[in-house]
Amino acid sequence: MRIRVSWTLVLAVFLAFPRFQRERIEEMGFRKILRMDRMRPDPALTQALRSRWDTEATAFVFPWGHMIPSLEDVSRITGFRVYGRLVSGFTYPCYHVLVEWLLELPVEQRSSLVPRRTLQESLGLYDVARKTGDDEDEHRHRSELASEPGAQADLDLRRFFVLFLGRLLFATRGDAVHYRFLPLLEDLSAVGSYAWGAMFLAHQYDSLGTSERQTSTSGFYPFLQVWAYLHLPALGRGVLERPGLVPIARRWDSPWDSRNLGDQLARLQEMIDSYPHLDVVWQPYLGEGDEGQPWLVQARPYFGRSVWLHALNFVLPLHLHLSQRSLGLRKSVMEFPVRDRFRRPGRSFRGLHDTTDWRERAKEQIDNWERRGKAVKSDASTDDAYLQAYALKYGGKVYKSARHQVDAAGEIASLRALLHLAMQDREAAQRQAEELRMELARVRSTGVDGASSSRTTGGTPSLLEARLAGAVLRAEEAQRHLEERERDLRLTTEHAMDLQGQRDQLQGEVQMIRGERDQLRIRAEAAEA
């Protein structure tokens, strides 16, 4: 219910603004969402999707392969701007000075949050009456907003954007609102130039990576629901009430389901496990045109590309190559993303931290965004190689329902996947140890030749040499540990395969005995006849 209240709060302030303020907001690119009818939340669908999220791949893991919400999905479903300046800059441990300067609101000295009630009262919302049942939430507004352009109007607009961004688009858990967007609101004329849609997608990824016990995602929840309606239509969760409207989220609503959340979730898991996916290429926008959607023209160069997504203090990869079949492309063999294989320069906000310049810290990823990432291409004629590698990595873990428990074959596939990863880790550790040994030998050789950088004048090892020797020992210890883990996994895999072979042999013998029993029964019946 809280997310619906947040939606109503934002709309109440927007509608209370004078016409010139509403036009300013719409010109910044937020007209589509603020003109959208509210949609009923579907927590069962959200939780079913969340349980399929792989945080390493930043993609959903289904029995038929990876799927992922993309920038094209954001642009077509919500109408958000996914092109332009990336949402990056400074984050601070305390926004006390900025809040007093740009918002003229009181805030605690060491706080980065403001109570929602304080913020909404500064915008004239003084009472919230929530009715029961299906009645709308009521918000009464008193006229305290500036009626003409000027400093007070800019102040009202900044306060609105803090509420709009912090409680609707990029909401976090809890009732308070974060000030992390405030530095971007100093120059109101630049607000419309940011790629808010790309930040929105990064925020969705970060929200999906949280606990599966949550029944909703943070932020604008209709996006994920409509994405599922379009990409998984056989689930039958959406109701197409207004065909032809744009953006696409305006067309759909969520049906009322009287069953409890547990029953709904179990049913959805069963349907996903048995989803008719064989030889299917997901192209939900194949028949969609660009009529009435001018934002798609400038957004199109960002479609079909893997790129880093930025959201101030966290940066996440858009691994579109994992779901290239949704682009009409066949999937080829690829190296699946594994934790620590790539450096994530940020993470979602957790408490206080130092002042950080993300344009400097995530410079490589910013350059990647400005180059629009990398286009997704494929020369594969079938998906067989990809699906084989996919099964090797995930095994039976993609089945979540009680009916599709992980069987012996799935266990063996999982063990093989773990063994493959352990071999890769061991080889990487072996290369690292060898490089360190070579570097240590080079430093020692330099010291023997009399170089002062290797040894001190007393002939004792230098600090660099001591550190290298310690690093070599640690690398060799890690290599031994990984070798032991690889050996244990290999033995476990071989043992599981032996057990599977014995099981198959026993099943064959049982089948043969049943056949002989049936033959004897037939002969006995024939003799009696």
Classify residue 314 as exposed, middle or buried by CB count within 10 Å of its CB (0-12, 13-18, 19+): buried
Q: Which two tokens stand for residue 86?
A: 């990336």
d(CA 410, CA 396) in angstroms, rounded, equals 4
Q: Which tokens belong to 392? A: 């090797």
- Give 400-457 pLDDT, tens digit per residue: 664 444 455 556 666 666 677 677 777 877 888 888 888 888 888 876 555 444 444 4
Nearest-angstrom CA–CA distance, 214 and 3: 13
Residues of the chain with pLDDT under 50: 1, 128-139, 141, 340-342, 346-352, 402-406, 451-458
pLDDT at 153: 94
Please report the pLDDT score of residue 418 as a whole number.
Answer: 65
Q: If you ran DSSP here, which 8-state letter would residue 36 be given?
A: S
Residue 212: C-alpha distances to residues 51, 142, 254, 350 (Å): 6, 40, 21, 18
Are 93 and 112 spatial neighbours (Cβ–Cβ below 8 Å)? yes
Classify 455 as helix, strand or coil: strand
Report how far residue 170's alpha carbon sits from residue 199's, in angstroms, rounded to the nearest whole number: 9
Which pLDDT does position 4 carry in this prediction?
61
pLDDT for 406: 45
Which pLDDT score is estimated for 412?
Answer: 65
Residues 6+ apart with CB under 8 A from 302: 71, 82, 83, 198, 372, 373
Whole-number Å distance between alpha carbons of 420 and 158: 52
For 19, phi and psi rounded to 5 degrees? Answer: -60, -40
Among 6, 7, 57, which residue's Cα sits nearest to residue 323?
A: 57
pLDDT of residue 78: 94
What pLDDT does residue 427 have?
81
Which burial class, exposed, middle or buried, applies to 492 when counting CB atoms under 10 A from its CB (0-12, 13-18, 19+)?
middle
